[in-house]
């Protein structure tokens, strides 16, 4: 165990994690892949506010990257991350090596049907199996009372809620609203691949989502026509290569028409300037995500 500037304890092994975790509670946990931004800081602050101990993990999980994904060039800066953690109030950072998480002989995968299948599940085969496997391992290692995830990864949040409910994992999953730049661009570690001008162009994603909200507010309930309102905005920038723009109910299984539900969502994934970006908004901005979700969450 080492102590970083700001008093954060940095641990790299399950044994050291158990030692700092012991006797302390409740514990709030924020799993991350590092290159932290204000969105992560919001998760960490919330974890610290609601718990005695805030633990952050920083682990770029190879299992959730496909062969053509950006694993090798995924941005990393541990010193900067430790400063963000300290400023946001984390007391412990768990940053294991890949060999600690996946030792030789590792053979188990956590794979979900249903909620993990459409959208990013279809666009990135194996991605959610990698996410679910590492998140379950991290939850078992940290044994938090609460775990905090950003709503920006809406489908990931739904997958994790489903897994936690299905496997009786004793943790409360807390979704935290997306943090955006003033321009509307959702904060993401991958934004660092884009220059200032390119980031300004990437606001086309949130503008497309808002166009869908506007069509819904104007009374449109046909899913395809709602989606077309967003696709029309994406088409204004020739740089955009959409993977999907979808209006979905809480279980993420697209229906021909929309049935009112506070957890209806519009999600988008698209490539711009060689970078894959995702974003989502509630279909009706007047619908806050309910504080208490049913067991298993929205999915
Ligand atoms: O959202 C992320 O950063 C990752 O998918 C997570 C949840 C840390 C699992 O690697």
8 Å CB contact between 172 and 191: no
Residues, the chain, total?
299
- pLDDT score, position 69: 87
- Peptide bond between residue 167 and the one before it cis (omega within 30 degrees of 0): no
Query: Residue 131 CA: which ligand 1 atom is closest?
Result: 9
Instruction: Give nearest CA residue, ligand 1 atom 2.
Output: 32
Would you say 206 is a known binding-site residue? Answer: no
Mean pLDDT value across residues 239-257: 98
* Set 21, 40, 45, 162: catalytic member: 40
Could you give the count of Cα atoms lying within 13 Å of 249 in the half-sphere of its Cβ? 13
Measured from the CA of 31, which atom of ligand 1 is nearest?
A: 8
**Domains of the chain (ranges plus CATH)?**
7-176 (3.40.50.620), 189-282 (3.30.1300.10)
Give the range among 22-36, 183-197, 203-217, 266-280 with minimum mean pLDDT. 22-36
Confidence (pLDDT) at 290: 66
Active site residue 127: no
Measured between alpha carbons, how far is 86 from 71 in angstroms, rounded to an integer? 26
Mean pLDDT of the chain: 95
Residue 295: pLDDT band with limits 50, 70, 90: very low
What local confidence, expressed as pLDDT, does residue 24 receive?
77
- What pLDDT digit, counting tens, does each position of 192-226 carry? 999 999 999 999 999 999 999 999 999 999 999 99
What's the gap in Å between 108 CA and the centre of ligand 1? 18
Residue nearest to atom 5 of ligand 1 (CA): 131
75-120 tens-digit pLDDT = 999 999 999 999 999 999 999 999 999 999 999 999 999 999 999 9
* 192 marked as part of a ligand binding site: no
Whether 64 contacts 44, CB under 8 Å: no
- CA 54 to ligand 1 center in whole angstroms: 17
Beta bridge partners of residue 28, listed in sequence order:
54, 146
At residue 145, does pLDDT exceed 90?
yes
Tell me, using a 6 A CB cutoff, whether residue 36 lines ligand 1. Answer: no
Q: How far is the CA of 277 from the centre of ligand 1 (A)?
A: 15
Q: Which of 23-37, 145-159, 255-269, 270-284 has the lowest mean pLDDT?
A: 23-37
Average confidence (pLDDT) over 144-172: 98
64 is in an annotated binding site: yes
Average pLDDT over residues 126-130: 98
Would the CB of 120 count as within 6 Å of ligand 1? no
Which residue has its alpha carbon closest to ligand 1 atom 8?
32
Three-state secondary structure call for residue 189: helix
Distance CA 10, CA 95 (A): 7
Q: For ligand 1, is residue 151 a contact (CB within 6 Å)?
A: no
Contacts 24+ apart (CB under 8 A), 20-26: 20/92, 21/53, 21/55, 21/92, 21/142, 21/143, 24/52, 24/53, 25/51, 25/52, 25/53, 25/145, 26/50, 26/51, 26/52, 26/53, 26/144, 26/145, 26/146
Residue 244, marked binder: no
Pocket test for ligand 1, best of 33, 132, 138 (most atoms within 8 A of CB): 33
183 is in an annotated binding site: no
The pLDDT assigned to 294 comes to 53
pLDDT value for 296: 52
- 85, 131, 164: which to mutate for ligand 1, most atoms within 8 A of CB? 131
Mean pLDDT of 52-81: 95
- Average pLDDT for residues 121-148, to the nearest whole number? 98
pLDDT of residue 233 exceeding 90, the answer is yes
Predicted confidence (pLDDT) at residue 276 exceeds the cutoff of 50: yes
Q: Residue 70: its pLDDT value, please?
A: 87
């Amino acid at each position: 165990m080492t102590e970083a500037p700001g008093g954060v304890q940095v641990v790299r092994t399950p044994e050291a994690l158990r030692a700092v975790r012991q006797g302390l509670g409740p514990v709030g946990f924020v799993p991350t892949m590092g290159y932290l931004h204000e969105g992560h800081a919001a998760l960490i602050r919330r974890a610290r506010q609601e718990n005695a101990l805030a633990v952050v993990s920083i682990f770029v999980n190879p299992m959730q990257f496909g062969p053509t994904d950006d694993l090798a060039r995924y941005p990393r800066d541990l010193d900067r991350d430790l400063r963000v953690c300290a400023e946001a109030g984390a007391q412990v950072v768990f940053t294991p090596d890949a060999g600690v998480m996946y030792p030789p002989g590792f053979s188990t995968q956590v794979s979900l049907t249903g909620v993990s299948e459409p959208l990013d599940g279809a666009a990135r085969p194996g991605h959610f199996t990698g996410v679910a496997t590492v998140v379950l391992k991290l939850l078992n290692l940290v044994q938090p009372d609460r775990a905090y995830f950003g709503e920006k990864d809406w489908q990931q949040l739904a997958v994790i809620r489903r897994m936690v409910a299905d496997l009786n994992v004793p943790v409360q999953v807390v979704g935290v609203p997306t943090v955006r730049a003033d321009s509307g661009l959702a904060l993401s570690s991958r934004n660092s691949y884009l220059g200032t001008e390119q980031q300004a162009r990437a606001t086309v994603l949130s503008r497309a989502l808002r166009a869908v909200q506007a069509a819904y507010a104007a009374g449109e309930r046909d899913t395809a026509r709602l989606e077309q309102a967003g696709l029309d905005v994406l088409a204004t920038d020739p740089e955009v290569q959409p993977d999907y723009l979808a209006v979905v109910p809480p279980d993420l299984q697209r229906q021909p028409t929309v049935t009112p539900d506070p957890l209806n969502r519009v999600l988008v994934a698209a490539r711009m300037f060689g970078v894959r970006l995702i974003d989502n908004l509630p279909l009706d901005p007047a619908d806050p995500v309910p504080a208490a979700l049913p067991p298993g969450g929205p999915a």
